[in-house]
Amino acid sequence: MLSGFVCDERLLDYKTGSGAHVFSVTNDLIEPYFHIDNSLSKKRLYNLIKKLNLLDDLRIIKVRKADTNEISLIHEIEYINKIKSLSEANGGDAGYGTPFSKNAFEIASLGIGGLIDLSEKVFLREIKNGFALIRLPGHHALENTGYGFCIFNNVAIAAECLKKKHNLSRIAILDWDVHHGNGTEKIFYDRSDVLYISIHQHNCYPDNSGFSSDRGFNRGFGYNININVPAGSGHASYIYAFQEIVIKALEIYEPQIIFVCCGFDSSGIDPLSRTLCHADTFRYMTKNLLKLAEEICDGKVVISQEGGYSETHVPFCGLAVIEELVDGKRRYLDPVKDTILNQGGETLLDHQKNMINESLESLNILKFN
């Protein structure tokens, strides 16, 4: 059985709009440049797996436009119509630092439609697992506004579509993007049918979000687990968090399918974080997640692209994930791993362990729910 893969040239050619790196507005002192959330890192990932003939080992799932009924399972109709109208003109800003250009609605809906179909095929075991290399990112988006480059919450929509169609009661969303997925957290914060686990750099983005003490509300109490790692954390911190909290939480919850919000921005050379992960960090997490998934949900894992802003390193981090999904064979070494290792991250320091351990209480609450 092949792994599924969603991608389309239209997604990879999308340009966010004007700006200069993280600045949405330019002036006499801030010269125009490309926006930080551009498609180049994703296009280079696609080119790399194509060059290594990995596409031959993947089942390509065509994109299609998600319809309003699907998107509105998560987002308010008024907000959807606003984005669609602005997109048909010259673009705009979806809110909280989310500029978008003409045709952004079409690009986003194509990616969401592809992710929905990929999820369906994984759940029905038509493919063994899947990776969606889609644009735009999604995990910051709220029901009625964009946030942090995200217009629509791709994974939340796909998960809700699958839940409605198959009457699912236990879906897990693991988010290893370096920034806290505040949108996904809020959407499912008072629900027990979705377990949300986020590993992120402490207070990196958004400000004052993703604390270990934020554990859900009412029926959802205990089903929201935030794992913070301090700036300077690397491979060792992520492995410890994965072994001590992520795996154990998934074992307790026994989801029927696992989604991954897959950001590669914890890379040691990413411009929007201060963490020290490398391709083998993502390889380890994917390999061990797949191993557990075979035991608890028949291997049903769907991984969806989120952030990652190092145009040169994202391709090798993404390659490691896709290799594990396909067959676990290493085809090319991470060319900047040694550079990252020289900066630290391979030894778990006491302050890193202590911060991660703040989430152990969330694990205990989940255990007794």
| Structural domain span for residue 56 | 3-367
Dist. CA 74–CA 169, nearest whole Å: 17
Dist. CA 47–CA 41, nearest whole Å: 10
Angle formed at CA 57 by CA 55 and CA 62, multiple of 5 degrees? 55
Torsion of Cα atoms, 48 then 20 then 209 then 290, to 10°: 0
Tokens of 222: 């205990």
Dist. CA 100–CA 91, nearest whole Å: 5
Task: Give the CA distances from residue 102 to residues 76, 81, 91, 162, in Å, rounded to whole numbers and listed in that order.
Answer: 21, 14, 5, 30
Dist. CA 20–CA 36, nearest whole Å: 7
Dist. CA 40–CA 1, nearest whole Å: 31
CB 220 within 8 A of CB 192: yes
Tokens of 63: 């994109």
Number of domains in the chain: 1
Dist. CA 318–CA 257, nearest whole Å: 21
Catalytic annotation, residues: 140
The pLDDT tens digits along the chain (369 residues) read 999 999 999 999 998 877 788 887 778 888 888 899 999 999 999 999 999 999 999 999 999 999 999 999 999 999 999 999 999 999 999 999 899 999 999 999 999 999 999 999 999 999 999 999 999 999 999 999 999 999 999 999 999 999 999 999 999 999 999 999 999 999 999 999 999 999 999 999 999 999 999 999 999 999 999 999 999 999 999 999 999 999 999 999 999 999 999 999 999 999 999 999 999 999 999 999 999 999 999 999 999 999 999 999 999 999 999 999 999 999 999 999 999 999 999 999 999 999 999 999 999 999 999
Q: Which residue's entry shows tokens 């998600």?
A: 66
Query: Residue 2 gets which letter from DSSP?
Result: P
CATH of the domain at 203: 3.40.800.20
Q: Can you give the pTM of this predicted structure? A: 0.98
DSSP 72-137: TTTS-HHHHHHHHHHHHTT-EE-SSS-EE-TTHHHHHHHHHHHHHHHHHHHHTTSSS-EEE--SS-
In the chain, beta strands by DSSP E: 3-6, 58-61, 92-93, 99-100, 130-132, 171-175, 194-201, 224-229, 257-262, 301-305
Task: Give the CA distances from residue 327 to residues 42, 48, 141, 172, in Å, rounded to whole numbers and listed in that order.
Answer: 21, 17, 33, 23
Torsion of Cα atoms, 181 then 225 then 127 then 313, to 10°: 50
